[in-house]
Every structure is written in structure tokens, then in C-alpha cells.
Amino acid sequence: MENRVVITGIGAITPIGIGKDAFWEALLAGKSGIKKTSRFDASDYTAQVAGEVQDFEPFNYIDKKEAKRMDRYTQFAVAASKLALEDSKIDLDQEDRDRIGVIIGTGIGGIETLHTQYTTLFDKGPGRISPFFIPMMIGNMAAGQTSITFGLKGPSSCVVTACATGTNSIGDACRLIQRGDADAMVAGGTEACISPAAVAGFCSMKALCSDHNADPEKASRPFDKTRSGFVMGEGAGVVLLESLEHAEKRGAHIYAEIVGYGSNSDAFHITSPAPGGAQAAKCMQIALKDAKLAPESVDYINAHGTSTHLNDETETAAVKTVFGDHAYKLAMSSIKSMTGHLLGAAGGIECIATALTIENDIMPPTINYEVPDEGLDLDYVPNKSREKVVNVALSNSLGFGGHNACLILKKYVK
């Protein structure tokens, strides 16, 4: 029999707040974290707004010497992991650390380090490249450094599935616990790619919103007819997962139980979702089957909801395919309206938001929803958070390359 898996710790580093409480309070208040880009001079860029993490001081979470050897994306991951472990109140000195692992993924990795080191190479020559360049840049170091920092010697790996990364990381970590390969896993996603080359690349694709440079807080507007592209964000979302037996044995607080996980591929296009969302729908169905739940049992969907024309149309169509008439009875919102799109970290913070929705029976809103779009006619929880008993919730992530991942969370019942 498979082990049941529960969420017992939460660590959030986001553009709307650092830590569980600040993040959740900002979500419920409908607070936007989108501002003018400040990490570099974006005045020549078509898109000049971003969801940047404010007031992040890595030395509050990481030894100063070690922090200087980490890219910002890794610093976010280690800090979020520290918050999740502290929130869980787990005493690692009393645990078998061979039975606790880490899966933290990233969509892009250490692109800030790549940018600065290439500048050094071209300006000063190869002899001036940092010996820490490679271990700072490579994508597995969020998981590696987290394992090292906390002495976690169980399974350790890095998922890279673009915008589905955080969700796949948590789902894959669940599988390890379910089959008994670990008692607990630190899992989620991290990203720090608000850098010149990354933003220029997304601008060149015409994927980013460029018509709200003077009014940043209005830029991310999922499901609204006037949406025109996503807003880049940064941060990390990490949870501590435990087997139910392990969590109960130590008297842990349980936020929610993860009961379903689905993962598949559109196999269609490098950036565009498949028309009609057929594979996204199948991914939700896989998760429902894994959870042994009927579609009618789902109360709330934390949508991928990127604020691009194709994504929001496709996801809405997929939800209608899966849920039929029930699609008009459940509620669905996108926190990207407030945080922007955290790429590889998106699924991590959205899993956290989903767990807190279940625990508190309050659904965060989709802000900036002003003009309904034809065919996008579901309940997107417009502009204000809403109290509602949420027993079962679905979190969707749909990534570049056609990567789809879904998690189903449920109120914990003994």
C-alpha cells in the first residue's frame, strides 16, 4: 500500500512577500508585486516591468561566505527551504537524514552568473573567470546546495520542465515518499532570471506584456480580454513533504494532503500550447484518476493563467473538457496576476497558495480582471478573494515544450 503524502512546511520567496504569512496576506489583499524593472536598465526593452523579490537579504538565511558562491536562484532556493523546514518544526538532529531528500528544479538556472561571467570573459579575458562560475550557474545546484546546507542525504535531483518545473518537482517527490524511498522531501522550484539576456529573449518572442510599462500593476491580467502577454517574475516556492505516518509520529501540523499527480506532454510546439488543450485536459484527468476522485469533487483550481492569449484560452477549454457542467460551479483563479510568472518557481508557489486555500477556506483572486473575453466564461474569482469551503483543489502548470503537470490537494482527514 502506498504511503499518504502531506505538506507540513511552507517556504515562499515571492514578489509580493517573503515567508508564508506575508505571501498569503498579500494574495488575499489582491496586492500586485509588479513594478518597473530595477535589476538592470530596461529602458530600451519593449517590456519594462517585472515581479522582483524586494528586500531579500541572503545573509539572513545563508552563511555569508557560502551565499557569495551561489547564484541568486540558488540563494532563493536555500532560503525558501530554510523557511519551509522552520515552518514544519522538524528537528533534523532527531531525524535519519538518509531518509530526507531534495527535489528543487529551475527553468533557466544561473543566468545572472552566466551574464556576469561572460561579460568578464570578454572584457578581461579567461584568466579572470571565477572558479565558482560553473557550480554557480548549473541548474542542479539549488537542490545540491540545499542538500549540503541542511545535511539531507536522501534522493536529490533537479527537474527542468520550464513552467511546469515546480509542480513536477513536488509530484516526483511525492512518488518517492509514496513508494517508501524517503520519509520526507524538500521540494519545489526556484528562478532568478530577470537579467538582460533573458528578458531580451522573451521580448524577442513577443511573449511579455509591453503595453503597461507606465502602469506596472495592471500588466498581468489573466483571462481578461485585454491581456497581452505574461510578466516575468522571480522567487522560490518550497514545501516539506512527509509521509503521513512520519508527520503524525512527530505531531506535525498538516496543511493539506497531496492525493493526485499527473504529468504528460502536448508533443506539439516549443512554446505554444496545443489547440483546444487536449493534453492539458488529459493531464488533469490523469491526476484525478491518481487521486481516485470524480471531477465533481473539485472545488477550486489554481490556474496556470499566464495572461497570454493562447494559454488562457487553452486552459479554459481544457477545464471545460474535463469538468463539463461542473466547470461553471467550481472557481478558478490565477495568482500570476499578482506575482507575475515565476517560470520554474511558479508551480512551487502555486502549490503553496493551493494548500493555504484549502487550510483557510479562502480563494485568492485574479486581479486586473475587467473585460470578459468571449468563451472565457468561467468563475475566475475576479479582483477580490472569496471565502468558500475548499475540500479538494487542483493546481495546473503548463510549460514551454509542451510539459504539463497537475497536482490535486485535499483537506487532510485521518
* Contact (CB, 8 A) for 357 and 300: yes
Out of 163, 209, 351, 406, pick the active-site residue. 163
Comparing C-alpha atoms, which of 356, 258, 298 is closest to residue 27? Answer: 356
Tell me the C-alpha to C-alpha distance, in Å, between residue 148 and each of 98, 156, 167, 181, 346: 12, 10, 23, 19, 24
| Strand pairing report for 35-36 and 49-50 | antiparallel
Q: How far is CA 9 from CA 25, 173, 211, 239, 333, in A?
A: 17, 14, 38, 5, 23
Helix (H) or strand (E) segment spanning residue 263: strand 256-265
Contact 247, 7 (CB under 8 A): no
Q: What are phi and psi of 153, to 5 degrees?
A: -110, 10
Whole-angstrom distance, CA of residue 247 vs CA of residue 3: 11
SS3 157: strand
Question: Would you tell me how many other CB atoms lie within 10 Å of the CB of residue 269?
Answer: 13
Is 209 catalytic? The answer is no
Helix H segments across 211-305? 244-249, 278-291
Q: 133, 258, 136, 252: which is closest to 188 by C-alpha?
A: 258
State the catalytic residues: 163
